[in-house]
A = this chain, B = another copy of it.
Amino acid sequence: MNRGTLYIVTAPSGCGKGTILENAADKHGLVYSVSATTRAPRTGEIDGVHYFFKSREDFEEMIKNDDFLEYAEYCGNFYGTPRDAVEKLIEEGKDVLLEIEVQGAMKVMDKLPQAVTLFILPPSVRELKRRLLKRGTEAAEVVEERVKKAICEIPFAKHFDFVIINDDINNAIRDFDACIIAAKHLRKCHGKDIDNKITEVLENE
């Protein structure tokens, strides 16, 4: 059985990543990678589904054992991507979606160079700001913070395999969809599978 594909997807806040991913996950049966965290479960959150809930001690033990593809601390809680869970899914032939912020994505692609990496860009910083303000869910200073963060994050796009500009949401969904399919044939990501397939093609004479 062929190994699955790991798709690492990142974008500054407000680039339409959620809408694009929801569509792609449904259409291609992608499995979301589940993060581990030390924060307490909220009502309705299920261990192993929304997060793997860990004690601070367990989490620190996992850090020591290099069990995370990446981890970070926010507001006093740890969040991390458990290596085992991702690798097991890939081995089983599942296609895994790792939705992650830019710094985390950089760390994971360093550890798993065969992953397919995708960065979603806004058409412009001005338009990003407009979209964030239009949501109306955040105070102007929070929007300002997000825009500043986006300006720091955007230059990292050049390290990703695929860069998609969300100028028009339907085009972005179509193009993201194409990247998901095309990545299956991309040597960079499936070199070993492609080599095996070539051998098979030649053997079945």
Contact = CB atoms under 8 A, between A and B. Distances in A.
Interface of A: 121-127, 151, 154-155, 157-158, 160-165, 174-175, 177-188, 191, 194-195, 197-198, 200-205
A125 B201 contact: yes
Nearest to A185: B162
A186 B162 contact: yes
Given A155-B202, A175-B181, A182-B175, A165 B197 contact: yes
A68 to B, nearest CB: 26
Contact of A185 (B122, B127, B151, B164): B164
Contacts of A174: 181
Contacts of A125: 201-202, 204-205
27 contacts: A121-B197, A123-B204, A124-B201, A124-B204, A124-B205, A125-B202, A125-B205, A126-B205, A154-B198, A155-B202, A158-B187, A158-B194, A160-B187, A161-B188, A162-B187, A163-B185, A163-B187, A163-B194, A165-B197, A175-B181, A175-B184, A178-B178, A178-B179, A178-B182, A179-B182, A179-B185, A182-B183
Q: Which 9 A-B pairs have the closest CB atoms?
A: A124-B204, A182-B182, A178-B181, A178-B178, A125-B205, A179-B182, A162-B185, A178-B182, A163-B194
A129 to B, nearest CB: 8
Contacts of A161: 186-188
B164 A194 contact: no
A164 B202 CA distance: 15
Given A124-B201, A175-B181, 18 more contacts: A121-B197, A121-B201, A122-B201, A123-B201, A124-B203, A124-B205, A126-B204, A157-B198, A158-B187, A158-B191, A158-B194, A158-B198, A162-B186, A162-B187, A163-B185, A163-B194, A178-B179, A178-B180
